[in-house]
Amino acid sequence: MLIEQALRYKPNTVVIGDESKYQQVKEALWNHDIKVFAGKKALEQVVESGEVDMVLTALVGFAGLEPTMNAIRHKKHIALANKETLVVAGELVTRHAQENAVNIYPVDSEHSAIFQCLAGEWNNPIEKIILTASGGPFRGKKKEELSQVTRAQALKHPNWTMGAKITIDSATLMNKGLEVIEAKWLFHLKPEQIEVIVHPQSIIHSLVQFQDGSMKAQMGLPDMKLPIQYAMGYPKRLPSDFPRFDFMQYPQITFEKPDCDVFRCLDLAFVALEKGGNMPCLLNAANEVSVARFLRDEIGFLDIARINESVMERGTFIQKPSLDDLLVSDAEGRGLAEGM
């Protein structure tokens, strides 16, 4: 797929994460004047190029942290689609961005919605934000129904087309939990200022409530092209030929309270946010491993939350972690999760 995309768009440089694939990619692209590199370090270094003025971080998971930190270090503005970067190291990343005068533009549809609602409101304090969740493929199900859920069932999201890991996170509501933690750092919020509501149609992408009680919502079809374009074009709204929303196709939009007893991962994210320190890092590490194990049919669907909670209970807590501490915590969390 990387070769196919490179031949279509003719970038200056590509990096293949899997070093064993380097020769294959290089041979396919060498006569197209496209430089090819491989491996984790190359991924971190490619963002340093003087030709780069914005880095869209769309890696999945903890892998996005170090390339993003290096991009900030080299004063590149960030369009952030990798929520785990702020989940595991929100304090470090936001401080680093301030020190380097770098802007972080949210690309997740929910955080883009909040960002859009705040345009022109920078001096008006936020009372709270409301992140919307589709509820995933198992909305309304009870625990006993989820005990036999298969990988194929969990990968059938009703509204969004996403990668396997994010789709499973949506099914467990872990994705929304990670977004809660990300929102705290993007918008300088306290945990009690963040609410989650289930909105099955995925038309209202999120809302902001101000101190006078007024609320703003950003609406649109469930399509990631718009938030990506908004981040890359900001502050301009670039013209597009994307499909337009038709009210008559959605005569009703509905809202429900999330069931945190059944979908325990959302509650765990709020616990990690309240605890602070390296706890979100431990939770994220556990979740990446437990989701991977579920996708390999090694554990059941409900085991994802069980493993995540156990790692949070057993992991070494650090109140003020450095980047090195977070790397150690990530490794510890993964090791614990693999053994459960």
For residues 245, 250, 256, 259, the Cα torsion angle rounded to the nearest 10 degrees is -80
pLDDT at 93 over 70: yes
Q: What is the mean pLDDT of residues 19-37?
A: 96
- The pair phi, psi for residue 20, each rounded to 5°, is -70, -15
**For residues 179-202, average pLDDT:** 97
**How high is the mean pLDDT of the chain?**
95
The full set of domains in the chain, from first to last, is 109-260 (no CATH), 276-340 (1.10.1740.10)
Task: Assess contact for 102 and 75: CB atoms under 8 A.
Answer: yes
Residue-wise pLDDT for 95-105, tens only, equals 999 999 999 99
Supply the pLDDT for residue 309: 98
Separation of alpha carbons 70 and 47, rounded Å: 7
Strand partners, 36: 14
* CB 223 within 8 Å of CB 241: no
pLDDT digits (tens, 9 = 90+) for 304-314: 999 999 999 99
- Mean pLDDT in residue range 232-260: 95
Of the pLDDT bands very low, low, confident and very high (cuts 50, 70, 90), residue 161 is low
Cβ atoms of residues 281 and 333 within 8 Å? yes
pLDDT of residue 60: 84
pLDDT over 80 (residue 315): yes
User: What's the mean pLDDT in 154-175?
Assistant: 86
**What share of the chain has pLDDT > 70, as a percent?**
99
Where does the pLDDT of residue 158 fall: very low under 50, low under 70, confident under 90, or very high at 90 and above?
confident
CA distance 170 to 289: 16
Q: What is the pTM of this model?
A: 0.91
- In whole angstroms, what separates CA 183 from the centre of its chain? 10
Q: Which structure tokens are listed for 238?
A: 């670039």
